[in-house]
Chain A
Amino acid sequence: MSIDVEQFHGVFFDESEEHLQAMEDLLMTIDVDAPDIEELNSIFRAAHSIKGGSGIFGFDRLTGLTHIMETLLDKARNQSIELDTAIVDLFLETVDILKATLTAYREQQPLPEAEIAAGIAQLEATLSAFDNAPKADSVQNQDAIEEDDGFGFFDDLPEPDSTSETVEASADTDDLFGDLAFGAEAQSAERAAPQATTEEEDGFGFFDDIVTPDVNNSPQSDEAFGFFEELPEPPKTPVASVTPIQTAAKKPATTNNSSAARESGSIRVDTAKIDGMVNLVGELVITQSMLSMIGRDIEGQSGEMLQAAIDELQRNTREIQESVMSMRMLPVNMTFNRFPRVVRDLSQKLGKQVKLVIEGGATEIDKSLIEKLVDPLTHLVRNSIDHGIESPQTRAEAGKPESGTVILSAQQKGSSIIISISDDGAGLNRERIMDKAVQNGLPVSLDMPDSDVWQLIFQPGFSTAAEVTDVSGRGVGMDVVRRNIESIGGRIEIESNLGKGSSFSIHLPLTLAIVDGMCVTVGEQIFVMPLLNIIESFQPKPEQIQTIGNDNVLWIRDEYWPLVPLHQMMQVDDAIAEPTESIIVLLESGKNRFGVQVDALMGQQQVVIKSLEKHYKKVAGVAGATIMGDGKVALIIDVDSMAQSCQLTIKHEVCA
Chain B
Amino acid sequence: MSDSTLQQSPVASNEKEFLSFVLGKEHYALDITTVKEIRGYEAATKIANAPAFIKGVLNLRGDIVPIVDLRLKFNVGEATYNEFTIVIMLHVHERIVGVVVDGVSDVVRLTDEQILPPPEFGVAFDSQYLHGLSEVDDTMVILVNIEKLITSDALALVDSNPNMSLAG
Contacts and interface: CB of A to CB of B under 8 A. Distances in A.
B96 interface: yes
Contacts of A286: 62
Interface residue range, chain A: 20 to 34
B48 A571 contact: yes
Interface string A69-106: 00000000000000000000000000000000000000
Given A525-B46, A571-B48, A635-B45, A615 B59 contact: no
Interface string A597-616: 00000000000001111111
B160 to A, nearest CB: 9
Contacts of A634: 45
Contacts of A618: 159
Contacts of A631: 59
B62 A571 contact: no
B64 A633 contact: yes
A189 interface: no
A643 B58 CA distance: 27
Nearest to A286: B62
A635 B47 contact: yes
Contact of A621 (B48, B96, B156): B48
Interface string A563-581: 0000001111000000000
Interface string B27-62: 000000000000000001111111000001111001
A143 interface: no
A635 B157 CA distance: 17
B138 interface: no
Contacts of B113: none
B63 interface: yes
Contacts, number: 71
Contacts of A283: 62
Interface residues of B, number: 23
Interface in B93-121: 95-97
Interface of A is mostly: loop
Contacts of A632: 45, 59
A616 B59 CA distance: 13
Contacts of A619: 47-50
Most buried by B among A279, A525, A618, A627: A627
Nearest to A625: B64
Contact of B57 (A282, A572, A612): A612
B158 interface: yes
A570 B48 contact: yes
B65 interface: yes
A570 to B, nearest CB: 4
A282 B47 CA distance: 23
A286 B57 CA distance: 17
A627 B48 contact: no
B45 A633 contact: yes
A612 B62 CA distance: 11
Given A610-B64, A612-B64, A631-B59, A617 B49 contact: no
Given A627-B59, A633-B57, A633-B58, A614 B64 contact: yes
Contacts of A620: 48-49
Given A627-B59, A632-B59, A633-B58, A616 B44 contact: no
Interface of B: 44-50, 56-59, 62-66, 95-97, 156-159
22 contacts: A279-B62, A282-B62, A283-B62, A570-B48, A571-B46, A571-B49, A610-B62, A613-B159, A614-B63, A614-B95, A616-B47, A617-B157, A617-B159, A619-B50, A620-B48, A621-B48, A625-B64, A633-B45, A633-B56, A633-B58, A634-B45, A635-B45
